[in-house]
Amino acid sequence: MAVTNGARGGCGLGLGVMRPFSDLDWWSTSSCTDWRSNWSEQIAAHDPDIVVLHIGFWDTFDSIVDGTFLEVGTPSADSYVLDRLEDAFGVLTSRGATLVLLPIPCFDPDLPPIAGHDLSYEVWRGDHINRLWESFAAAHPKQFLLLDYRSTLCPDGQFAYWINGQQVRTDDGLHLTNAGADAVAKWLEPRLQALSG
């Protein structure tokens, strides 16, 4: 298996302005608002058989897109999120690749502040977006697969910093340690191999 890593930190599908911190005004945007062109270039350059997309929690925040307020969990926000995934699906499968989407994992329910600011993240938000991903998978049985790796990080659905004596999450309650990344990779690799035949 040859792997090309085209990931960027802080990259969501939404193209608007978000409010990730509850005590700050609207200010943050995704780090990859150019994802359509960037991903199109990568697909053309590498012509992959499988594309793995992991968005994280960036699309779980309320946003403002073209002057319209989108509150997570409302029909208008759901429609926007699904439209963006449909767009991404079209780009990433344009040369016949299968798109594998990884769900949002659990995070520490009591996330510590980041740079002194409290995140607007709440557990229900990630659960809601994951249900949207599931509905998308049901509507796209060809070339799209949702691989639920969360058990590698969230045993019995519960957040854990440590699993089997290894720290799998960093102290911010969000990101993976090297051991956590290795655990996900060991779970994911044979499933991708099977998918590729």
pTM of the model: 0.92
Query: What pLDDT, on a 0 to 100 scale, did the predictor assign at position 23?
Result: 86
| 47 to 3, 50, 94, 97, 110: CA distances (angstroms) | 12, 9, 9, 8, 41
Going from N- to C-terminal start, the domains of the chain cover: 17-149
Q: Give 9's contacts (C-beta < 8 A, 6+ positions apart).
A: 31
Query: What pLDDT, on a 0 to 100 scale, did the predictor assign at position 196?
Result: 83
Q: Is the pLDDT of residue 177 over 90?
A: yes
User: What backbone torsions phi and psi does residue 52 show, to the nearest 5 degrees?
Assistant: -105, 125
The pLDDT tens digits for 9-38 are 888 999 999 998 888 887 888 888 999 999
Is residue 131 within 8 Å of 170, Cβ to Cβ? Answer: no
The pLDDT tens digits for 63-75 are 999 999 999 999 9
Is residue 120 within 8 Å of 113, Cβ to Cβ? Answer: no
